[in-house]
Structure 1
Amino acid sequence: MTAPARPQRVLTEKELEVVCGIDLLTLHKCLLLGIVDPVPNLSPMSEDEGAWVREHVFSPHHRFVERGYPWGFWRWSYCEKGTCWNCLSDRCDICVHRQQGRPDVCDNTDHLLAFDGRALAQVIRRPDGRPCAWVCRCPCPKTGPAPPPPWKRKAAPADAVRPRRPPARPDMDPLFELEAS
């Protein structure tokens, strides 16, 4: 497995607030799909032109699904997916692509869909002549010895430790009840 063509994307503060503000079920769907931090390819359309197409050309089914995700759903191909959910949780030792399971064994086919969402045909997207495949964008190694889990790592210097970022809304924090008691 080769390294991703484009590096890992770091969310801005404003984008992080958007992600922290979505409901938990949608967050889990975004994590599993790898679209919490998608890395877009260059597009011949501006963002405004793309928004017009999504609003006026997409079928009601496609608009409904697209609006359910903070950065959209239909606009991301496999090679534009970002960091896997394990690496986002600082568990690079169990990175999705180290496990050699899905999506590593995925054949990277996508489907051309009818207006009602039915699959009409399979499409293989190949931007820049390369196969379109998702490889987690985290810089951790995808092969070889696994990095140790967080609880077995040596303590980092105090200036290297990232502070825990507060959630946009305290009631969305899974530790909220534990900290309050």
Structure 2
Amino acid sequence: MTFRRPMFYPADVAKRAARPVARRKETEMPYLAWSDELDTHIPELDAQHRVMIDHVNRLGAAASSGSSKQVREAMDALADCVHQHFEFEERVLEMIDFAGLEEHRQTHREILAELDDYRARLNAASPAEAEELVDTLGPWVVEHIRHDDVDFGPTVREWLRDAAPPDDPFRKLVGDT
């Protein structure tokens, strides 16, 4: 079984976006490392993005271990994390009346459909195929952050600075920017 790259990111973009540091089984380093280019400067979003990258690293470690159970658990945790993150992100974009919200929601729907597809296919995957999945998901998660999320960071920060009332509860959602 071969896992296909998500349809909305060209292969060359995804390869450049994620710079895997090492495979887990070869060193003790994580598969993906946080980079400043992924920073939206919105504390809650950046914290969630770091957790997503951590889940990809856990999935990589599980795939390298050869344990189907660990791979399924890690994939479930990643999918749950992504789903919760998307709900939060869409709430943020609604609050600021972001012009690209519908397009961003559509991207989220496509990503969630891809994750469901990967999750279903993972149940029948060999350890090598599971590692191939991580090799696809790692760049994909990073590219979504770089391509979609970093782009709206300035809009959120501008809204907080110029339009949000000082006592707006939204300020607490995103932290001090």
Q: Looking at secondary structure, tell me which structure has more helix per residue.
A: 2
Computing the radius of gyration from Cα coordinates, the structure with the larger value is 1
Shared fold, TM over 0.5: no
Q: Looking at secondary structure, tell me which structure has more strand per residue.
A: 1
The structure whose RCO (Cα within 8 Å, separation 6+) is larger is 2
When normalised by structure 2's length, the TM-score is: 0.28
